[in-house]
A and B are shown apart, each in its own frame.
Chain A
Amino acid sequence: MTLRRGIFLSGVATLCAWTLVPIWLIALGAVGGRAAVDSWPKSFWPGSASFATLGSFLAIDGVWTATLTSLEVAVLCMIFSILLGAPAGYALARYSFRGATAYRLLILLTRAFPVGILALPLTVSFIRLGLYDTPVGVALIHAALALPFAVLVSASLFQGIPRELEEAAWVFGCSRPRAFLRVVVPLALPGIAATAIFAFVISWNEVFAASVLTVRHRTLTAYLLAVLSESPLHVQFAGGLMLIVPSVVFIFLVRKHLFSMWGIANR
């Protein structure tokens, strides 16, 4: 191995460590409990690691319900954005119609705006509609965040499925909806699933809208933000770890689609 190659590989390794070590450290802070948080200087290996801290974190009043609320909101956001986004994507991919360009433009326009902040005026109308402080209300604004992404990605997914396959099904007597269900859906499903998971992560991580639109039924992010100044450090670290773990797992699941998805969102 040449010297150049050695330098190059240690650069790659350094960047991997730069990503992974901080996650390791918050995990240490989360499983070590109060004793580890107060200790000085700190050990970089778990001494008496236990899941007791995580357990007691979940036992704190409100944490477990907040986690469940987050889960509920994220699943709803996933459903909304796919149910609304996939048909629009199919329309963009299969039909050329007047207004298609304007529609695309509206979708892209959402990107120039910090959509989460638009939750501010929604407080008032949500109170009036009974959506304030409900998982559905938060999921709606999260879906507005995830929908543009879902539309663009599913449009290009459907574009990637040859029209001929669908036409062959029509020739063999399938109706249009039936051909769609039997031929197109199975081929598009992995990509749609990846998009759905991404919508889940967008919602799971969102802080601002969730904090503004909830009081008692907080999501995990909103809960952690609200108790930031008054809770002990090890509790905060446990919360941070709780936020990170599902997202990392999900990114792992969709890793194959990550780049095609973003490559698409590029155009």
Chain B
Amino acid sequence: MRKTLAPYLLIAPSLLFLAVLFLVPLVQTIRLAFRAGQAWSLGNFARMANDLNFSDAVLNTFRIVLIVVPLQLLLAIGMSLMLRHIRRGRDLVLWIWSIPLGISDLAAGLVWLAILNDRGYLNSALFDLGLISAPHSYLTYETPAALLGAIVLAELWRATAIVLVVLVAGLQLVPKEYAEAASVFGASPWQIFRRVTLPLLRPSIQTALILRTVLAFEMFAIVLALGGRNMPVLVSEAYNWQYANQDYGVAAAYAVVVMLLSLAATLVYLRVLRTPPEQLA
């Protein structure tokens, strides 16, 4: 191959762009978080940790991520397997199921606010069915469990689609012959799924989990739309410190926490779900 400058010229603009808008802000965030005036300090982290909302924000974020992500994975695996058995109208079903892919977390929060507010559609349906006689509240400070449930529902509704799309794309790469061969040898559908399909899907599951977990740690508009400030999460606190309190240092400290969590989750997934070398095509 002849040596040429062309590829370097072609990647240079994007490299420069990412350096300026990804690497520089990354370093700046870390710097901002560890600075107090002119000196290095952990002051911002101390103020973050001493804040009333901090432990709630950490707990709530973990609760949401740990409930939502596994449920989404299960639901999406189920949906992608169902798609394989649809004979007519598969494309239509697939399109309908992937609609939420285009819906922002803010919009999803507003959608579920329409359903779950005191005079919303859930209460109306329950009333029509004769199950309740007066509106119930789900989204208040006094009903943290119901509020958490509402956020989980809204997240499931909105973001299962991205997991589904990644898995369906991955399933397309798995030749049907493997499953057929297994069934010739007398494997049950469950065994085929457990021993053939699932291991082959591992790279897609890894991608989907990384994507979803990073995005779930980052989620905040859905929480603000549904619960206002009743349920603090890490990023909504970062937003409040930056915006309402104008304290960029503490906001950056929150950002560093979120980044570390995302990075840690990614590393765990890369390690736990790594594809064994003998399986690499």
Chain A residues near B (Cβ < 8 Å): 8, 11-12, 15-16, 18-20, 22-23, 25-26, 28-29, 37-44, 80, 83-85, 87-88, 90-92, 94-97, 99-100, 103, 106-107, 110-125, 140-141, 143-144, 147-148, 151, 201, 204-208, 211-212, 221, 224-225, 228-229, 233, 236-237, 239-240, 243-244, 247-248, 250-252, 255, 258-260, 262-267
Alpha-carbon distance between A229 and B22 when the two chains are bound, in angstroms: 32
Q: Can you offer 18 A-B residue contacts whose CB atoms are under 8 A?
A: A20-B96, A23-B111, A40-B127, A42-B120, A88-B15, A99-B8, A114-B214, A114-B258, A117-B235, A121-B31, A125-B28, A140-B21, A205-B106, A205-B107, A221-B106, A225-B106, A228-B228, A250-B102
Total interface residues on B, using CB and 8 Å? Answer: 92
Asked if residues A247 and B29 are in contact (CB atoms below 8 Å), the reply is: no
Asked if residues A40 and B119 are in contact (CB atoms below 8 Å), the reply is: yes
Is the CB of B70 closer than 8 A to any CB of chain A? no
Given contacts A88-B13, A120-B252, A266-B207, 13 further A-B contacts (CB under 8 A): A8-B85, A16-B97, A20-B99, A22-B157, A96-B1, A113-B214, A113-B262, A114-B214, A120-B251, A121-B248, A144-B22, A266-B169, A267-B203
Name the residue of chain B whose CB is nearest to the CB of A18: B157
A41-B127, A84-B14, A263-B170 given; A244·B103 CB < 8 A: yes
Alpha-carbon distance between A154 and B166 when the two chains are bound, in angstroms: 17
**B259 in complex: contacting residue of A26, A40, A113, A233, CB < 8 Å:** A113
Hey, which chain B residues are within 8 Å of A123, CB to CB? 242, 248
Asked if residues B221 and A19 are in contact (CB atoms below 8 Å), the reply is: no
Hey, which chain B residues are within 8 Å of A39, CB to CB? 119
Closest CB of chain A to B71's CB: distance in Å? 13
Hey, which chain B residues are within 8 Å of A260, CB to CB? 169
Asked if residues A259 and B169 are in contact (CB atoms below 8 Å), the reply is: yes
Residues in B220-261 with C-beta less than 8 Å from chain A: 220-221, 224-225, 228, 235, 238-239, 242-243, 248, 251-252, 255, 258-259
Hey, which chain B residues are within 8 Å of A250, CB to CB? 102
A120-B252, A147-B17, A208-B235 given; A266·B204 CB < 8 A: yes
Alpha-carbon distance between A247 and B47 when the two chains are bound, in angstroms: 40
Asked if residues A120 and B173 are in contact (CB atoms below 8 Å), the reply is: no
Alpha-carbon distance between A42 and B170 when the two chains are bound, in angstroms: 42
A16-B96, A211-B239 given; A116·B82 CB < 8 A: no
Is the CB of B148 closer than 8 A to any CB of chain A? no
A22-B157, A228-B224 given; A114·B262 CB < 8 A: yes
Alpha-carbon distance between A114 and B125 when the two chains are bound, in angstroms: 38
Alpha-carbon distance between A204 and B107 when the two chains are bound, in angstroms: 11
Alpha-carbon distance between A111 and B25 when the two chains are bound, in angstroms: 15
A12-B86, A91-B7, A151-B14 given; A121·B242 CB < 8 A: no
B127, B211, B228, B239 interface centre (most CB from chain A within 10 Å): B239
